[in-house]
Structure 1
Amino acid sequence: MVAMNMVQALNSALDVKLEDDPDILTFGEDVGYFGGVFRVTDKLQEKYGLTRCFDTPISEGGIVATAIGMGAYGLRPVVEIQFADYILPAFDQLVSEAARLRYRSNGEFWAPITVRVPYGGGIFGGQTHSQSPEALFAHVVGLKSVIPSNPYDAKGLLISAIEDDDPVIFFEPKRLYNGLFEGRPDDPVKPWKDHPLADVPEDVYRIPLGKARMVREGADVTVLAYGTMVHVALSAIEECGIDAELIDLRSIVPLDIDAIVESVQRTGRCVIAHEASRYGGFGGELSALVQERCFHHLRAPIERVAGWDTPYPHAFEWDYFPGPQRVIDAMQRTQEV
């Protein structure tokens, strides 16, 4: 075991898989010589050479299209889209080609590609470096969407994504990369705290896609979250004194619906937290699934805590981002019924 932050854990995952399988390669904008803008691919080109880790032109559609062709040929490319906001030029390739290739070819070809996407706010990146578009991809049949919340999970999930025969969008919360959470000083509940490095194995290990993690057991309400919001929700639970059960979904497609149903049927209440805008967000799908499967067990309306239904506001980032107090308010509302 080695103490790692999320950047180091992701780098380790790429390192061990590049060493393990000659059919794996990684590329994207600034991925090679520079090691990525967030340093996730640091020193990989130096170790594995220009054909296994290399830079590309600024063309997200071209990056993903190239990966799809490589995957159909038999390789396992791992590509980086520098920010989630920039993935939209590649949306057609992902939806019309990667997601459908296995079905369209009757299993003759497939796209075993992994698309790494730094996403979310918290770094004052403004409207074009801060968005959370996970719901767009969750709607596309044939794509898997994975979102880690800690270094240990990040490595195990990325290895599983690379080895998966279907295309995986691997959303990496930028705010968690270096393990230090920072928030606005005037928040009534301290939203962030120093997050210790996680003990991460140096060799290969896997966390199955579609298997949620129980962060905290509780009896009063179930809180569903993923990525950065796992830590926001945990801060809220520790502050308010409600005996809440916190589930880290880890992936939204595939979704561990069994873990969700078991928990909500036991607690009778549910709060859903995500950073993306509320309207059309993945929380709406989670709410519908809980309502369909747990209707007779619910003792209070399902609560959703999310970002505003506005473009990402640079000047009001901390107000937009759902903090612990908003999660506390939602949990308290479920206790009043």
Structure 2
Amino acid sequence: MFLALVVTPELRDFLAWARGGAVRLIKVRIQDEQLVLGAHREPGQSWDRDYDRFLLPLLDPQEPCYVLYRLDSRNALGFEWLFLSWSPDQSPVKDKMVYAATRATVKKEFGGGHVKYEMFGTTEEDVCLSGYQRHVSSFCGPAPLTQAEQELQRIKLTEVTSENSVDSKHQTLQGLAFPMQETAREALLQLAQKKINYLQLRLDVKRETIELVHSQPTDTRDLPCRVPKDTPRYHFFLYKHLHEGDYLESIVFIYSMPGYSCSVKERMLYSSCKSRLLEEAERDCQLQVVKKLEIDDGDDLTEDFLYEEVHPKQHAFKQAFAKPRGPAGKRGHKRLIKGPDEVVQDG
């Protein structure tokens, strides 16, 4: 587990002062296991004219960082800000993990109410002005509701109007993402480092978050009893096994949904949040998931089942030899072939 990083007093004082609007950009780095001020820029022109010329030169292609960029819009607390997490592909995996695990700390220290948008980028194309504009446009919508509220509203309508058919039971919502609690994120980072071998996550529907249920040590034989019989769950398991003489450790994602004992709303929320959870786990926590499974009963999770799913057999289909068909129509006179001392007669 990563240690909690300390915010230096200088950075804390600077953030408090900068919220007043005298600063356009703040770069925050990790140095000697502390969060420190990397650089800052004062406003020059409008926010969009300052954006590329201030931001891009400060991004190191090999070192992650956080950037707080002040917009010109305001809310009840003052100026609104963009919170950017920069994690270039060429930076070390350990550095990426440390920054991913510390992002929530930086946001909390600055004050989440001041942050209007959050972005994550690995290339300049992701975070330049045009990348920011693409990011913002994806969040624009006509209704004054959060994305989660809109999805829940659609779910309620579906529960009332949908028929009890196979098609209606399997309707899913695309793109819904509940934020992960810090304990869940830390557990995923520990799994990526193979410090733990199992973790289980659940949706907190009221708070609209993903939270850690537990991360108890688990062998393959223990998996069936980890799966609840009455509620959905997400599971990540480090499957240790031998394959063709090689020892392998493969991370398997298991989405357990115990049939229709769950409500329509619960099924749709879990189904919708699944892809975004996996995307965040693989991108931010560097988790290499080799197999994604969906089950309705934990008893399915046997050693043989997991092995065949992770290493499916290559079926080779050989076509049986077919005797050539003779010419159509009359096949000519029959012949009777006898032994060497017998006479051969034509039919």
Q: With structure 1 as the length reference, what TM-score do the two structures score?
A: 0.29
Q: With structure 2 as the length reference, what TM-score do the two structures score?
A: 0.28
Structure with the largest fraction of strand: 2
Choose between structure 1 and 2 for higher RCO, CA contacts under 8 A separated by at least 6 residues. 1
